[in-house]
């Protein structure tokens, strides 16, 4: 069993991560550094944190099942296939990434994800005025690329997906959120299966984190009714910025 203090840290991080994922995303900003603090190597921490948050993604996808509409020119089946392939590709790439190399990449990934959270709303407003309804090769490559990113590193995935669906002509935010939740659940499930087969998941931490994340998601869905969205987003950006700086200093 983990020592008491690291156990408390990862459990608290998973609880809050589950809550903010239910509200806006960004849970990886907490689970990754918490697991690294607990002594889990960075590559394994990335995989373990993703696995712990999987139940929340599945629940979110189920809750949006009546709002899922594929972009024009694509079917939901094709979106699922692309999500599966992209998630598997990203997870396999993580398996092939040496620990030292990943620790060098993580600060830049965190910086990218933090900037997405900071400027995501402005980006989505700019994209909302465009009308690029296409299900061609470009759309398929875009979905594959975003899902590969999500399979490799979970941070900021939701913002990237929402921006992509806006580019594909999905301007109803509820439908875009439904598609985002579906893809997030599918690619995370596939990625976790790959991580498990590759021995990346630290199972000792999974159970308490998964339970805490599920409870956090339940609480977050209720807190979201009263919490100002701007306060939540600013908090996530602050946590992401601090985490990014700490990982740069550690490197």
**pLDDT of the residue at 157:** 79
Whole-structure pTM value: 0.80
Please list the alpha-helical segments (H only) found in the chain.
4-23, 28-37, 42-52, 54-63, 76-95, 99-128, 137-152, 157-167, 173-197, 203-223, 229-250
Tokens standing for residue 120: 């995501």
Concatenated DSSP letters of 161-222 = HHHHHHHTT---HHHHHHHHHHHHHHHHHHHHHHHHHTT---HHHHHHHHHHHHHHHHHHHH
Q: For the chain, give the mean pLDDT.
A: 83
Report the 10 Å Cβ neighbour count for 231. 9
**pLDDT of the residue at 2:** 55
Query: How far is residue 184's CA from residue 62's CA, in Å, rounded to a whole number?
Result: 12
79-97 per-position pLDDT tens digit: 899 999 999 999 999 999 9
Separation of CA 149 from chain center: 9
- How many C-alpha atoms does 246 have within 13 Å on its Cβ side? 13
18-72 per-position pLDDT tens digit: 887 776 667 888 898 999 999 999 999 999 999 998 887 787 778 778 878 888 7
Angle at 28 between CA 128 and CA 43, to 5 degrees: 125
Q: Which residue has the higher pLDDT, 210 or 166?
A: 210
Q: Which of the four pLDDT bands, split at 50, 70 and 90, describes residue 230?
A: confident
Report the 10 Å Cβ neighbour count for 3. 10
Q: What is the mean pLDDT of residues 117-136?
A: 65
Best CA proximity match to 143, nearest among 189, 182, 175 = 182
* Residue written as token pair 């094709």: 78
Report the 10 Å Cβ neighbour count for 59. 19
Examine the pLDDT at 175 and tell me if it is beyond 60.
yes
Q: What is the mean pLDDT of residues 161-177?
A: 79
Q: Which of the four pLDDT bands, split at 50, 70 and 90, describes residue 119?
A: confident
Query: How far is residue 118's CA from residue 15's CA, in Å, rounded to a whole number?
Result: 23
**pLDDT of the residue at 12:** 94
């Amino acid at each position: 069993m983990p020592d008491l203090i690291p156990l408390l840290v990862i459990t608290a991080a998973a609880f809050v991560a589950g809550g903010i994922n239910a509200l806006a995303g960004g849970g990886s900003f907490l689970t990754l550094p918490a697991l690294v603090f607990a002594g889990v190597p960075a590559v394994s921490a990335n995989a373990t944190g993703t696995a712990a948050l999987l139940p929340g993604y599945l629940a979110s996808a189920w809750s949006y099942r009546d709002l899922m509409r594929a972009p024009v020119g694509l079917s939901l089946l094709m979106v699922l296939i692309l999500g599966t392939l992209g998630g598997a590709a990203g997870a396999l790439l993580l398996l092939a990434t040496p620990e030292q190399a990943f620790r060098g990449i993580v600060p830049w990934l965190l910086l990218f994800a933090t900037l997405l959270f900071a400027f995501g709303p402005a980006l989505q407003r700019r994209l909302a005025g465009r009308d690029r309804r296409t299900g061609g090769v470009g759309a398929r490559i875009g979905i594959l690329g975003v899902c590969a990113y999500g399979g490799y590193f979970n941070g900021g995935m939701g913002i990237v997906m929402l921006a992509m669906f806006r580019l594909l002509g999905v301007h109803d935010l509820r439908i875009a959120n439904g598609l985002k939740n579906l893809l997030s659940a599918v690619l995370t499930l596939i990625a976790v299966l790959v991580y498990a087969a590759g021995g990346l998941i630290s199972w000792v931490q999974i159970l308490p984190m998964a339970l805490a994340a599920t409870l956090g998601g339940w609480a977050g869905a209720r807190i979201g009714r009263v919490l100002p969205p701007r306060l939540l987003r600013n908090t996530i950006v602050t946590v992401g910025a601090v985490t990014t700086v700490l990982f740069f200093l550690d490197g």
